[in-house]
Structure 1
Amino acid sequence: MTNSTENQTLNRRGFFRKAGAAGAGAAAAVTLAAPAIAQESPQVTWRLTSSFPKSLDIIYSAATEIATSVNEASDGKFKIESYAAGEIVPALQAADAVAAGTVEMAHTCSYYYVGKDPTFALGTAIPFGLNARLTNSWFAVGGGNDLLNEFLSGHGLYALPAGNTGAQMGGWFRKEIKTIDDLKGLKMRIAGLTGQVMSKLGVTPQQIAGGDVYAALEKGTIDATEFVGPYDDQKLGFVKVAKFYYYPAWWEGGPTVHAFFNLAKFNGLPKAYQRMLKDACANANMNMLAKYDAHNAKALKQLVAEGAVLKPFSQDILDASYKAAQDTYAEISAKNPAFKKIFDSQQAFKRDGYLWAQIAEYSYDTFMMIQQRNGKL
């Protein structure tokens, strides 16, 4: 009995000694692991330059939303400082600043940089391209994001969709546009490949940053401008200097605004931070479209009350523009393999997309629009 008790006591002492040693080992392991965890969540501060002024709150706020999301998800470890157009670099040089490493990222439109390569236009929108839903689908599951970034890598850039305005308006004109002949000699602020298409119709395209458009239209430096849609156009006051408001913007059926990153800087981030950026951009992409859908109708009614004269582009203008666009794509594709690769992908996706859309979406929407026009909603 005594020997048994002594043995039990010794066994208990041995157990506690081992447990103590194990506990110390665990503590040491925690101590050793702490620096590794710290390395995985380093303190990072980036600068983001936008191509948009703060007055265009829906587009500009996408940048601040991304910054806020990343800051909250990282518990303050990953901070992004947002700057409006012109605060660091001019609006149309945002992507250049990212590629040069002046800033780590930008919120801008890919088609602003068609002067470098027309392939950039395919990242935002091209005449008679994808609508907003098809654009998001092509980027997310149609291989579009991979194709665009394959191209952008040659410019030291990486991009993620971070906003979509939905189909835009066809712009403000100082005079009525009834026929193709009315477009000849017209000086119009218009971006991307649409300028090349418009030039085939006799228009002289001008690329002007958003904040400078009103002054150019007021002074007569330009005769017409497109921008986004009713909500933004009302803020910019275009109705005061050009009353004819045309629709639709056949050149921007669903334009994407991107977050551009310096490729080396993005690749150098911890995987967790990369995921935060991807999730934040996806959220901003969804929110921008939702905001425009919510606010454009009210703004359109207000613009009409202020004197805007709504006009549809004639079928002749649309047909001539469509032909000019297809001719332009054929010319570029013949000498630019990068453009052709992405364009062909979009075209194939568009064919299937509109096959499905006309069966269900279009039929449903058309019926509901008739109810709205008849005052039954």
Structure 2
Amino acid sequence: MLYLDNAATTPVRPDVLEAMMPYLTQWFGNPSSHHTVGEAAADALADARARVARVLGMRPGDIVFTSGGTEANNLAVKGIALGAQHLGSRRHVVTTPIEHESILESVAYLERLHGFEATRVPVDRDARVDPDAVTGALRDDTALVSIGYANNEVGTIQDVAAIAAAARARGVPLHVDAVQAAGWLPLSAADLGIDAISLAGHKLGAPKGTGVLGVRGRVPVEPLLHGGGQERGRRSGTEDVAGAVGLATALELAEAERDEASARLTAIRDRFVARVLATVPSAELTGHPVHRLPATASFTFAGTSGEAVLLELERRGVVSSSGSACAAGSDEPSHVLVAMGVPPEVAQTAVRFTFPHWLRQPLDAVADAVGASVAAVQSGG
């Protein structure tokens, strides 16, 4: 069985598990406890925070450990917007209609319960947002811009640096959801010019339930969780020390491998895409053909059912997905594809292949399995 659903989750890397083990066993203490076991945990937490900060081009005090990407995105959108609201009259946020549900639902929450207005800047057929359109959406009362670095369904990469420059010129914080970008694209907030960035450990070979929000200290953040005041008051709750160590280890490994893995996977991806398009008449690539993640290839197959194609692929030893795992089981067409202008009935035929970082062999056999699976669905058998 070949697992090609790595955008949904990845297995824990052996080096990550090894780094975590001491903090699940011998040094299991609460990092807020003032004794030897607790202080060892606190030291490990501080070290993990510093290691993550180095990769993100931020200060250790900017790093907030969370339970995953969804919590990090919620804290970024709600926390920064509400923090700006409390300091003045800013009640406007800017985003796009193709963001992860954790962004879109957080924006809707601000509209519904806190009187915010939101501008959802449209994207083009390739899922790219025009930085000039984002600039045009900014207002004097804009509290936050929140944009995904790379889309989780089609892999399109946004021009984050250009958007950051426009937001910075207007004094508006920019949050970037980098959950899918980590390990494939540069993450330095200093180089990109961004104010906040979200990551999820389980996309990188760390366990599920681990995440990070990096947010510059100058940006006010209203906490969503209240209690003991951990994470400099921005996220109360006893910290998962082993999870933080695991995430830091996975992030460092991914960053060290990034350039080589990106080049290698881009070549494999392009060969796979070309073979699918050449051999499957109904196949259409979704997302930008060039500005896309190295390990993502997504298609629609008009006249089929995406779920039926997935079942046929699994019969042939290939595991993939129809899009975001967070929307699995929904009968609705992908909001990403619909926002790109794909007809709903075609959007429901989508299949996404996301490759592991270690992949080295061509995927010609998988491309042939795609063709056989689509043909089987179209023929009814």
Tell me the TM-score range normalised by the shorter chain: under 0.3
After TM superposition, the score normalised by the length of structure 2 is 0.25
Q: Which structure dedicates a bigger proportion of its chain to helix?
A: 1
